[in-house]
Amino acid sequence: MSGSPSADAARSGGLAVIILAAGLGTRMKSDVPKVLHEVCGRPLLSYVLDAAHGLAPDRIVVVTGPEHQAVADLLPVGCERAIQRRRLGSGDAVRAGMEPLAGFEGDVVVLVGDAPLIDAEFLGELVAAHRASGAAGTVATAVLDDPGHYGRIVRAGAEDAGDEPAVDVAPDAVAAIVEARDCTPEQLLIAEVNTGFYVFDAGQLRRLLPKLQTANAQGELYLTDVVHLMGAESLPVVAHVAPDPEVMLAVNSRVDLAAVNAVVRRRILARLMLAGVTVIDPGATYVDWGVEVGRDTVLHPFVHLLGHTQVGAACEIGPGAYLKDAFVGDRARVVSSYLYECVVSSSCSVGPFAYIRPNTVLQEGAKAGTFVEIKNSRIGENTKVPHLSYIGDAVVGDDTNIAAGNITANYDGFEKHPTTIGSNVKTGVDTSFVAPVTVGDGAFTAAGSVITKDVPPDALGVARANQITIPGYGARRRLRQDEAEADEQDGQ
């Protein structure tokens, strides 16, 4: 947006932003403040803060409830917090937000903290329209096919309150904003609605806020009444119509949260696909905000890339892979596996059905195969853990092969202990390493061994009891069973 007319207009003169974030979110049925509920892995409020910062304003004030310390903790450096002591409506929240702005002159943008689809480009256009019109207030509006419960925009001079606005010409003055519950049947036919985003002249807003009254069904101070007070004083208020109504979608329930998640996820996947990532089925692919994926990577259905995950170029992820805060290098393959807080280097292979836990590093070309669990371990270059093994608190060298069913017994009931396995080691199936223990480079272990002592380099570790074969054991066992059954029948 840098250098665009709307951005330049937004940056000229004094500009402040007030974000209303004090809502309890009653309809969310949650103990979490509404603005902290996440959309694609990120709090609702963070998206609105990004849009506000995109305006490069002089001040940003976020209005919270007194108990919302968690919201305050989210605020970046430079944002100011204002507290709405009593929740008496949007007008009261803006009044609280204006308190830190005492003496500020210029324009004030008012946003709601639960509408994450707002962006800096639209806000720049909104501020530019406000300043170009010379109005005391500007209302961002949208035209909806089904305006539903949204407040209707009544245009000044409309012959019939039911007429739709002419959105292809310069916005007309706004006469009133009427809440849906208060609309006449004619007003309910209006398709233009209030988005909840405004720009006001700071001086006029400061002067009119004390005049708001609670004479309404909710007993609250409505910010929309500022528009009515301006109209009563012949101060111009105009509307700026959003070209895309999606910008106004806010979250008031878990249903709304899911709908907004779908929009943001769609945008994230579109950005990835335009950057060279293949997404086989966008409807069944889940990628968080901020996740990075390299070009020529293929994301199969039911892939989840969450948190701070980074995936390199030319990878194949999925189907059914779940990665959170994981790093995956170039040309790696992850199939039907769970990866958390781990590093999977270039050309590695993971899965299917592997579980790679925190603090694990698979070095280049390593393999963690079917039903393998690895945690807090480093697996060397080109080393293979093909199937049915658990490796924990271990360091494994390069070019080693861990056979099926190997276990590092790393916990003695009190402490975790390390296992060290060198390079070019070949372990036998069903080997258990009782830590702390070290296996040297080039060593071998025999199948079924329980290794409790160090194995020197190039040695073979065998730790199992000698086999004893007892002839005729099965026949004698069956005879005893037959005799027992006969005794039981005689007793009856």
* Predicted confidence (pLDDT) at residue 491 exceeds the cutoff of 90: no
Averaged over 299-316, what is the pLDDT?
98
Residues 298 and 226 both lie in one domain: no
Please confirm, yes or no, whether 387 is among the known catalytic residues. yes
Residue 9 has pLDDT above 80, yes or no: no
Cβ–Cβ under 8 Å, residues 149 and 172: no
82 pLDDT above the threshold of 50: yes
Write down which residue in 233, 248, 263 finishes a domain: 248
Q: What percent of the chain is helix, strand and coil (3-state, nearest 5)?
A: 25, 30, 45
pLDDT tens for 348-377 read: 999 999 999 999 999 999 999 999 999 999
Last residue of a domain, one of 248, 265, 296: 248
Considering its fold, how many domains does the chain have in total?
2
Residue 424 sits in a domain whose CATH number is 2.160.10.10
**One domain, residues 287 and 168:** no
Q: Are residues 237 and 281 in the same domain?
A: no
CA distances from residue 162 to 188, 191, 286 in whole angstroms, order as listed: 7, 9, 42
Q: Both 191 and 292 in a single domain?
A: no
How high is the pLDDT of residue 217?
Answer: 66
pLDDT of residue 484: 87
Domain assignment present for 137? yes
What is the per-residue pLDDT for 169? Answer: 33
Residue 401's domain comprises 277-461
Cα 293 vs. chain centroid, distance in angstroms? 16
CA 152 – CA 175 distance, rounded (Å): 11
For 385-430, give the DSSP string.
EEES-EEESEEE-TT-B--TT-EEE-B-SS-B--EEE-TT-BPPTT
- Render the burial of 16-51: b for 16+ CB within 10 Å, e for the rest: bbbbbbbbebeebeeeebbbbbebbbebbbbbbbbb
Tell which of 200, 227, 248 closes a domain.
248
| Among the ranges given (7-21, 51-65, 390-404, 438-452), the one the predictor scored with the smallest mean pLDDT | 7-21
Residue 232 lies in a domain: yes
Q: What is the mean pLDDT of residues 169-182?
A: 75
> What is the distance between the alpha carbons of residues 272 and 279, in angstroms, rounded to a whole number?
8
474 burial class (0-12, 13-18, 19+ CB within 10 angstroms)?
exposed
Look at residue 231 and tell me if it is in a domain.
yes
Residues 334 and 291 in one domain: yes
Q: Which pLDDT score, from 0 to 100, does residue 173 have? A: 87
**pLDDT higher at 485 or 289:** 289
Q: Are residues 299 and 387 in the same domain?
A: yes
**161-168, long-range: CB < 8 A, 24+ apart:** 161/186, 161/187, 161/189, 161/190, 162/186, 162/187, 162/189, 162/190, 163/190, 164/190, 164/191, 164/192, 165/141, 165/190, 165/191, 165/192, 165/239, 165/241, 167/143, 167/192, 167/241
For the entire predicted model, the pTM comes to: 0.86
> Is residue 141 domain-shared with residue 70, that is, in the same domain?
yes
| Phi, psi for 207 (deg, rounded to 5) | -70, -35
| 285 and 193 housed in the same domain | no
Place of tokens 């390079």: 423
Strand, helix or coil at 373?
Answer: strand
- Whether 404 maps to a domain, the answer reads yes
Tokens of 140: 């961002």
Residue 164 scores a pLDDT above 80: no
In a shared domain, residues 324 and 220: no
Q: Which of 37, 228, 300, 387 is catalytic?
A: 387
Q: How confident is the model at residue 96 (pLDDT cuts 50, 70, 90)?
A: very high
Does residue 67 fall inside a structural domain?
yes
Q: Is the dihedral of CA 114, 120, 125, 129 positive or negative?
A: positive
Confidence of residue 394 (pLDDT cuts 50, 70, 90): very high
Categorize the per-residue pLDDT at 172 as very low, low, confident or very high, splitting at 50, 70 and 90: low
Is residue 168 pLDDT above 70, yes or no? Answer: no
Q: Is residue 409 part of a domain?
A: yes
Residues 225, 159, single domain; the answer is yes
CATH of the domain at 67: 3.90.550.10
The pLDDT assigned to 325 comes to 98
| 467, part of any domain | no
pLDDT at 23: 84
438 in the same domain as 304: yes
Would you place residue 8 in the very low, low, confident or very high pLDDT band (cuts 50, 70, 90)? very low
Residues whose CB is less than 8 angstroms from the CB of residue 133 and which lie 6 or more positions away in sequence, other chains included: 171, 236, 238
Are 355 and 235 in the same domain? no
Percent of the chain with pLDDT over 70: 93
- Residue 219 CA, distance from chain mean position: 36
Query: Does residue 144 sit within a domain?
Result: yes
Alpha carbons 340 and 305: distance in angstroms, whole number = 10
More confident of the two residues 245 and 491: 245
Confidence check: pLDDT of 162 > 80: no
